[in-house]
Structure 1
Amino acid sequence: MKERLTLLTILFFVSLSIAQAQRYGTAVGLRFGNNNQYRTVGLTAQQRITKRLSIEGIIQSDFKLNTTLSVLMEKHHPIISKRFNYYYGAGPSIGVEESFVKDPESMQVLHTYGNGTVGLDLLGGLELTVLNTVISVDYKPNINLVGREEFYRGQMGISARMVLVKSKEQKKKQRQRQRAKNKSQKVPLKEQINSLFEKKN
């Protein structure tokens, strides 16, 4: 019974995404993260650059000892529909984090905080665009390069973003800019120079 219910739920969301959803150009919202040490709440913004490539900025905090900022380049691949896809990416991260250091002599764990950290974030997830909202589930491991004792921390995240600019609108604006650029290139150089002097006079 549970398997049937799960299958029906998946089919329902997929059919909604095909029928009503819009692919996004720009989307902004909230991200909730969870790992072994702490839980975070953050802001996330995604901007589509090309058909399957986007850039995402994430700022998140537990409002105590850990605050991080990540900028990720992401590649998207459709599953069933272009509005239901899996994606993966990577990018730099900076932050202020707590750290746990084990003293080999006393075998005690020393807890430090306020550590400025620099690292690399990886990302893999699933996302669905439906009813003007992008819902995603992801896993975001962090590889620490500077400032923290633990080399690796993994984080599960759930995001809900509102679509601010739809993909069609973004493409329309890009085409308009390209047409305007092509138009200006067709005007002879002499006429362009003359028009500059005419404006000054």
Structure 2
Amino acid sequence: MLTYTADDLEKIFREENINPDELQNMVVEKLKKNNLKLATAESCTGGLLSGRITAVSGASEVFDCGVCSYANKIKHKVLGVSEETLNTLGAVSPETALQMAEGVKKLANADIGASTTGIAGPTGGTDEKPVGLVYVGICANCSKFPVKLLLGETNGSKNSRNYIRKLACNAVLYTIWKLT
């Protein structure tokens, strides 16, 4: 499983000369070029990822569906995340992230499903699952993989909810851009 910290992501963007605020434009353009459809399932990012994508003119050509599944019952009923996974591993787990991505991909009949689930803070973290722990699920064609993000307590933005949510979206968009 790929694992990134906030510092890792910032270093990648700097080395690849990427403005993270332009990632949604880069993704929409690349999805259009490759004739691919994307669907999103979001928990901790609460629709921010879908909002960034749909802010791009022409996004309707590549984006049909975004599900904000904050509650476990929605993760289960709408996205098909198994109750066993939710009860034993919890909403914040790589397995849940992958099932969310698979579920939204199937729901929208998309080429790519992407999900976020985590603890955006500033409260709610534990020693096992600290604030800033986010799992991303990517399901594209026949491949699926989780990405683990450790985004808390960095860059003087200790457990900032907005910072964690934005960086999680950046990580998803970057991953999709690299994948397509």
Give the TM-score of the pair, scaled to structure 1.
Answer: 0.26
Instruction: Report which of the two has the higher share of strand.
Output: 1
**Highest Rg: 1 or 2?**
1
Question: Which is helix-richer, 1 or 2?
Answer: 2
Q: Please, what TM-score do these two structures have when normalized by structure 2?
A: 0.28
